[in-house]
Structure 1
């Protein structure tokens, strides 16, 4: 069933509503595709720079949330444009909606201690990071949009370990939020039990799960070995207290590569490929317990070099097809963890 534009009682007139109306125009013109279909298509589209869960799409279209990261909205907009059967000025539409998003997001100002005000706009001050200028649309005294210049901090790219985890199975929709809270508790407990300081990692919710970038001084084996085993053990303890219908499955994918940080989040091509390992058939079949997928680089550096307690022979070679490209990985089921 299509998600309808919320009434003004739920989302009053303003920049957020103007943005949502533009997105709904694309959603309508695309024929109201299913949100799960949209999310799956985004996940396998290598031309996009981020993914977004069906829950995240639902919240955006329902006006429940204003996306804080442009790359997620960009992925949604471009996928909706790809669903159009009639010719459309895709670059123009993306630019139009980005302008509306900047106006909407600009209503939430950064912390004053990080900003120096100038007549031409705002500049984020940080001498240790590079900066880049973007245009910001803001209402003037006549309620017309004017263009200001905003300088945002862009941190240099860093090589990091990262993971993506998703809830794999729950039968009772009424338990959704409680289950998600339990899931986050398991993730944090596993971090604390494996020597990883979860307060220093970068986390991002994906609706059905989370993406985490690990602190640079954390040995890779802490994530691959200690964290994985702690998460599997915590999940078993949780599941043994529940009937089969209320048990949880978790898919965990671990990778390594360049991460690009900015004020509005983080991204990276290897991170996206690692997330796509969660789409493998065996990962999707998981009903209970933990299923682990390692990116090729992590397997070679940690498992092949015997830096963890996992035996090499326990892993199964897998590949995920994504828009003509095969993404290799290594699978380990709950029985072997």
Structure 2
């Protein structure tokens, strides 16, 4: 068999929904259906034919191989815009913990169907981009955003930098990627958010992960500072008063007293 038998280059798109694992079984089933409807609606509005895509779905993820050609600018430019609009429509009225939010990665490279999925470095790279720290962190620290998009350097150079989209380099932010065996850089975009202003540091990530409601941080643990710079006194412990009615046999009891508010 010729060595070039399986060689093919494709535009690879990988999509993953945030928070899938924390949902119960029925909610996961509902999310899978919603994800497919969202992708189909957005692709249709971007004038992309999903029937020409080779798709592989795994729960809350979809990996697609798309033929190269005139559709590339539409995929990079129009598809994320339509995804953002469709997610806004679907999420309208949903509580924050039930919103559907996506990470989307794009790359061009060698990719083709294999015995148990897809093979080729194009697929490997798009998967590493999708699971990289910068795109995960961007979605986490921008809670108002519906999606975070990360585009490989080669695709960015060919499609965005050469003026084939309505987007410009300033709409993206360069990020370094170190994910498993992949080392390189890519370009990050968060529709509706100034991506250059996002704090993508590890400290910001930890802050976003904090589950403690605002206003409840250790106010009771440490006395607050007064406006004059002095430390406010710690309020006395609440006094406890025992009242006895009738005789009490306390021959084997032990009583302890502290100064408290009464000295």
Query: TM-score range, shorter-chain basis?
Result: 0.5 to 0.7
Output the CA distance in 2 between the equivalents of 1:325 and 1:198: 29
2:47 aligned counterpart, secondary structure: coil
- Counterpart of 1:255 in structure 2 is 107
What's 1:321 paired with?
178
Specify the structure having the higher radius of gyration (Cα). 2
Q: Using structure 2 for the length normalisation, give the TM-score.
A: 0.64
Change (3 A) 1:169 1:323: closer
Q: State whether structure 2 residue 54 is matched by structure 1 residue 208.
A: no
More helix by share: 1
Equivalent residue, structure 1, for 2:121: 269
| Preserved CA contact (<8 Å) 1:201 1:215 | yes
Output the CA distance in 1 between the equivalents of 2:67 and 2:112: 14
The 1:214–1:336 alpha-carbon spacing in structure 2 relative to 1, beyond 3 Å, is farther
Q: Deviations over 1:199-222 (max 9, x none)?
A: 111000133310001134442101
| C-alpha distance 324-214 of structure 1, shift in aligned 2 (>3 A) | closer
Structure 1 residues 241 and 276: CA distance shift in structure 2, 3 A: same
- The secondary structure found in structure 2 opposite 1:320 is strand
**Partner Cα separation in structure 2 for residue 215 and residue 197 of structure 1:** 11
1:170-197: per-residue Cα shift (whole Å, max 9, x none)?
A: 5643411101210111111111111211
- Residue 295 of structure 1 is matched in structure 2 by 152
Any conservation in 1 of the 2:35–2:60 contact (CA below 8 Å)?
no
Q: Which residue of the partner structure matches residue 228 of structure 2?
A: none
Please provide the CA RMSD for this pair.
2.4
- Determine the C-alpha separation between the residues in 2 that align with 1:181 and 1:218: 29
| Structure 1 gaps, min length 5 | 1-129, 133-153
Aligned length: 187
Contact 1:280 1:319 (8 Å CA) reproduced: no
> Cα distance, 1:273 vs. partner?
1.1
| Partner of residue 162, structure 1 | 12
Higher relative contact order (CA 8 A, sep 6+): 2
Secondary structure in 2 matching 1:169: coil
Q: For 1:231, which of 58, 83, 90 is the aligned residue?
A: 83
Counterpart among 24, 27, 37 of residue 175 in structure 1: 27
Q: How far apart are residue 226 of structure 1 and its match? A: 1.3
Per the TM alignment, residue 330 of structure 1 is displaced from its structure 2 partner at its CA by 0.5
**By percentage of residues, which structure has more strand?**
1
